[in-house]
Structure 1
Amino acid sequence: MITEPKLENRNEQRYVAIRTHTTMQELDTVIQQLRGEVFAWLGKRSVAPAGAPFLRNLVIDMEALLDIEVGIPVASVPSANDRVTAGVLPAGRYASLVYTGWGSGIEANAALLDWGAKQGLEWDAWETEQGRAFGARLMSFLTDPNEEPDQAKWETEVVIRLADPQPR
């Protein structure tokens, strides 16, 4: 199931994450591994998450490598290191939808992108030699797999920031 897309304004959000490059084929394994590593890092510092863990797509080339961060929102950022870094999701206007079922991610992302195109929305995105880069495009994992083991019931939010309006 995929919900109707919506537009909303969001405040900036601090987070900690691990950045890496991976292929689509390795993505699920990488997400699970890095999410656990970031949670363990926060736990050692007694820092509570301030929201759902997420996958941030920095640069996407579906045929080659994805440049991603696996992160967790936090209210305050402890001192980071070379492996776990601090970042900020920018404030702005975002389009989002929620989908159910772990295997529906590509379909849900396509649905949001198609909806945005039909609405005439301009994404905070640009082309690079490595692929399409995004200012803020993420998938927030709303379901805790420790509480709900059935992947068919997992809910994930797809979120993409819109480009800032150009002054006239």
Structure 2
Amino acid sequence: MPDIVELGERPYVALRGKVAMNEISAFADRMREVIDWLAAREIAPNDAPFFKYDVVDMEAGLGLEIGFPVDDLHSGEGEIVTGVLPAGRYASTTYHGHPDGLVDATRDLLAWADEKGLEWDADGDRWTARLEIYKSDPREVPNMADWDTELQFKLKD
């Protein structure tokens, strides 16, 4: 069941790209670039990796960032960007299962918020913070059907 959670600011480092829906998994395979960038600068992630959907346009493509929260704000370079996930109220739910099921989990979260009369912090297709946080480490949970993924979508203040 979804909840509304209050979260503080969270600095992050990510790889930014524009991808079609059918290219998400190939883009996700580039997570290693973020890991290597962080390691080269001796910056440790402080939580699980995430996908941040900045633009959700099923026809024109997705504005997507894949990255990690970190303790302090840094300067990016090239395709590596840095930013701060804003403080505020988020609609949150945890999905257990293969990432293919996240489309349905997202639809369910959007419908729940609509039923509750909640308003997203978004401007059309552009979202302030729409996150999929991958809580399961593939080295420890190799079967993707056993993964836990938290959805956190920022609500309007």
Q: Identify the TM-score tier after normalising by the shorter chain.
A: over 0.9
Greater Cα offset, 13-22 or 74-83 = 74-83
Q: Which of 135, 143, 146 is equivalent to 1:142?
A: 135
Q: CA deviation at 1:79?
A: 3.4
Q: What is the CA–CA distance in structure 2 between the aligned matches of 1:63 and 1:104, rounded to whole Å?
A: 20
2:106 equivalent in structure 1: 109
Provide the aligned length of Structure 1 versus Structure 2: 156
2:78 equivalent in structure 1: 82
Within a 5 Å distance, the mapping from 1:8-157 to structure 2 comes to 8-33=5-30, 35-101=31-97, 102-127=99-124, 132-157=125-150
Equivalent AA in structure 2 for residue 65 of structure 1:
G
Q: CA deviation at 1:47?
A: 1.1
C-alpha contact (below 8 Å) 2:120/2:153 kept by paired residues: yes
Equivalent AA in structure 1 for residue 113 of structure 2:
G
2:151 equivalent in structure 1: 158
Q: What is the CA–CA distance in structure 1 between the aligned matches of 2:64 and 2:40, rounded to whole Å?
A: 24
Instruction: Normalising by structure 2, report the TM-score.
Output: 0.95
C-alpha contact (below 8 Å) 2:21/2:58 kept by paired residues: yes
Unaligned runs of 5+ in 2: none
Q: Calculate percent identity across the aligned residue pairs.
A: 41
Equivalent AA in structure 2 for residue 115 of structure 1:
W
Instruction: Normalising by structure 1, report the TM-score.
Output: 0.89
String of CA shifts for 1:55-85, please: whole Å, max 9, x gaps: 0000101233001111100002343212211
C-alpha contact (below 8 Å) 2:91/2:153 kept by paired residues: yes
Tell me the C-alpha RMSD between the 2 structures: 1.0
Unaligned runs of 5+ in 1: none
Q: What is the CA–CA distance in structure 1 between the aligned matches of 2:79 and 2:19, rounded to whole Å?
A: 16
Q: CA deviation at 1:92?
A: 0.3
SS in 1 for 2:104: helix
